[in-house]
Structure 1
Amino acid sequence: MDQKTPPAEAARLNSAGMQALRAQSFAEAERLFVEAVSHDSAASALWRNVAAARRAQGNDAGELQALEAAIGVDRLDFLAWLRKAELHQRRSEDAKALEAWQAALQLAAQMGEVPPAVDNALSVGRTFVANSMARIASAVEAELQPVQHAMDETEKRRSGAFVDLALGRRRTFFNQCEGLYYPFLPADEFFDRRHFTWMPDIEAATADIREELLSLLADPGDALRPYVRMDSGIPDNKWSSLDHSLDWGACFLWEYGKPNLPVLDRCPKTAAALAALPSAHIPGRSPSAFFSLLKPHTHIPAHTGVTNTRAIIHLPLIVPEGCGFRVGDETREWREGEAFAFDDTIEHEAWNNSDDLRAVLIFDVWNPHLTVAEQELIIRYYTAADATGLNPAN
């Protein structure tokens, strides 16, 4: 037998079925589509047509059987998932409708532009999913509130991230190190404040540090330079708009383990506050400390840092309204005089949407999850590796 005959017959029957469907002869359309499927059961579109004819006759069970057959043939059949979602929602089978709508919306996200009728259907699905997830969230939050109330800072942040992830309200971010990666350290976006018992001390010096910064900016000389300075020959990229631009400027007090004495001499109170910190001292690598200056209407694009062996501290000094900072899935506002610590090997970005300058003191310390023995090991690793003259700078 010619193997092409059955699909050709299936096409003929499908065409006849479509004519019957348009003529509202739904039972005849179903008969023709079912016969077409008998010739080509691996065509998910034919199963969808069977479902359409049964839907027109109010046969929910038959429609569901045909749609599940279509999905059984092709798990990526978007229209089958869409019709299945509509069917379950119509029958008030909310859990099954939620599952089907989520599948349909996920497939739709990969399709780009869709016809208006389909987009209208998807809009219904988005509303259904949003309302369903809100119902789940309300029930979950009411149940968890007594437990979370008794949790410490770490437990609250971690359990909150768990709930948000389970409810689809956040993404998971991982370390992306441009240089040294230390395995098995927690990939936390912001470090809990309890790790840094000295934070109140440097916060208490905020007014003095800000005063020294303003004095420095009145006559910065060579102290102020663009933070982004790409080597020549690098193709255009996300940093090009900031390259050699003072839109994001920096005044370094320490840079890769080397003190910038002219700036330190002009900022003695800042220098003293930094000297009191438990910084990592690795020649040619750390610590670094600088005043970060972001001009109005400037955006620092999302990026990742060099190594997860450190924590980056921000001490906000001048923060007009309209400034923000995101690490991973958590966004925070800077508040003058309130320091925070984060892992810069997790994607982060910053912006100043105001009409005024934003200024932050930025410096690094050890990742608090490293033990003293591990800190010593890292220092010795770099000492030995750098002594060969072969070790990369990062």
Structure 2
Amino acid sequence: MDVREATRLAQQGGTALQRGDLTEARGTLKRVVDAGHANLQVWLMLGEACRLAGDRDGQEKAADAILEQDDGALRALIWKGDCRRAAGERRAAASWYRTALRRADIIGTLPASLAQLADGARTAAAELEREFGLAVDAGLAARGLPPEARSPGFARALAVMRGEDHVDYELQRPSSFLFPGLPQRRFYEREEFDWVPAFEAATDAIRTELHAALTDPDLFKPYLTHAPDRPRVEFNGMHDNASWSALHLVHNGTIVPEMAARFPATFAALETVPQCRISVRSPSILFSLLQPGAHIAPHYGMINARLICHLPLIVPGDGALTVGGEARQWEEGKLLIFDDSIEHEAINHADSDRVVLIFDIWRPELGEADRRGVAALFETVDAYR
């Protein structure tokens, strides 16, 4: 099929769509797609024909193709939400709807057909939010935390999460969950933790295992990768970028089996650490490699119930971790402990790679009952579909 024939078929498919002949529209437009001549307009027409025909698979395929070319395409974002909701994936659907509605707010006045879709997305998002709230209460109750068993601090954290209460801190702005009332501190000092000296004493043994791993560059993967089932999020070009890469020892709260055998001294040292355990989110333990000149732009972490620890292992020269405007240099064998719910960034000015071991710990101010509450909440959230 040449371009001229593809253009003729695209026009024929569009005409069929306008008169409501969905069978002809889908069949004709799919011929253009299969021949490799589909542009955004063809995908939009095919997606609309599939939507009207109730063909969710075809609609979602069209949405994916559109978003591959334009990740802010409002119609396709809403279609993704509709398709994921129809598939029973409520969390995924909610994320697509939220992204779509933020996009709609940016655009402002919408054409009538898009405004109708956006209104439907807004209604669907509100329904999903109500369902999610009920599921959270049921999940917490099943885990021994009905409303009457929750501490005032945890109850308020839930209210903030639901939008029923509001706090506006100068420093802490976590992207997922804020536990109110915790100190607004950028850094914690090493001397405040009794486990630090024993852990730092293992630096040489940990670094020896790291050097062995660095001989196999395929072990390190880009730290940020795009999740195929969620809206695409850009972070200053760092997604799928090897300039900031990682080797995970514990990923999504689970030990990577082959890493346990490769890093016995590292895992032994970590046994002395009060690791944070939050569903599939924590502990998170990894070697983080920052190439020469690489800059991790200012950003906020997800949860303020934990602290992040850096054990610098290879520090070739100038570079810094900046938290809330306060910059500190990495020094090999000396932990940096900070609140990543505060805006932070990192840069390596040196002419070779910087590597630190990263892990998370519970905030010391958070009591055992509230730690259990946070863990139960995210177990509930992560089990929700």
TM bracket (short chain): 0.5 to 0.7
From 363, 369, 381, give the equivalent of 1:373.
369
2:341 aligns to what?
345
Amino acid in the other structure paired with 1:207: D
| Inter-partner Cα distance in structure 1 for 2:275 and 2:232 | 35
Shift of 1:367: 1.1
Whole-Å separation in 2 of the counterparts to 1:276 and 1:312: 16
CA deviation digits over 1:169-217, x for unaligned, max 9?
Answer: xxx9411111111111012111233432111111101111111001011
Task: Name the SS for the 1:355 alignment partner.
Answer: coil
- Residue 244 of structure 2: aligned partner: 248
State the one-letter code of the partner of 1:369: E
2:174 corresponding residue in structure 1: 177
Q: Distance in 1 between matches of 2:360 and 2:179?
A: 16
Identity percentage over the alignment?
39
User: Counterpart in 2 of 1:203?
Assistant: 200
Deviations 1:58-105 (A, max 9, x none): xxxxxxxxxxxxxxxxxxxxxxxxxxxxxxxxxxxxxxxxxxxxxxxx
**What is the CA-CA distance between 1:279 and the residue it aligns to?**
0.7
Shift of 1:284: 1.0
Pick one of 203, 214, 229 that aligns with 1:217. 214
CA contact (8 A) 2:279 2:375 kept: no
How many aligned positions are there? 216
**1:320 aligns to what?**
316
Bigger relative contact order (CA 8 A; separation at least 6): 2
The one-letter code of the counterpart of 1:332 is R
Give me the whole-angstrom Cα distance separating, in 2, the residues matched to 1:203 and 1:342.
16
Aligned-pair Cα RMSD in Å:
2.0
- Tell me which amino acid in the other structure corresponds to 2:351: D
Tell me, yes or no, if structure 1 residue 284 matches structure 2 residue 280.
yes
> What secondary structure is seen at the aligned counterpart in 2 of 1:209?
helix
Instruction: Write the distance in 1 (CA, Å) between the matches of 2:240 and 2:205.
Output: 29
- In structure 1, the partner of 2:120 is none
Task: Map residues 264-279 of structure 1 onto 2, 5 A cutoff.
Answer: 264-279=260-275
**1:309 aligns with one of 287, 290, 305:** 305
CA gap of 1:292–1:385, structure 2 versus 1, over 3 A, is closer
* Separation (CA, whole Å) in 1 of partners of 2:365 and 2:236: 31
2:213 maps to a residue whose letter is L
Change (3 A) 1:384 1:236: closer
Q: Is the 8 A contact 2:280 2:382 kept in 1?
A: no
CA distance in 2, matches of 1:237, 1:301: 11
1:275, distance to aligned residue in structure 2 (A):
2.4
Cα distance in 2 for partners of 1:194, 1:355 equals 31
Distance (whole Å) between structure 1 residues aligned to residue 243 and residue 254 of structure 2: 25
Which structure 2 residues correspond to residues 1-394 of structure 1 after superposition, within 5 A? 173-221=170-218, 223-231=219-227, 237-240=234-237, 242-387=238-383, 389-390=384-385
Deviations 1:242-275 (A, max 9, x none): 2212111100001121111112210110011112
2: CA distance between counterparts of 1:195 and 1:256?
A: 28
1:234 is displaced (CA, Å) by: 6.1
Give me the whole-angstrom Cα distance separating, in 2, the residues matched to 1:347 and 1:280. Answer: 21
Is the 2:294–2:349 Cα contact (8 Å) retained in structure 1? yes
Structure 2 CA distance for aligned equivalents of residues 205 and 269 of structure 1: 8
After superposition, the C-alpha distances for 1:284-319 in whole angstroms (9 at most, x for unaligned) are 111001000011111111111000000000000011
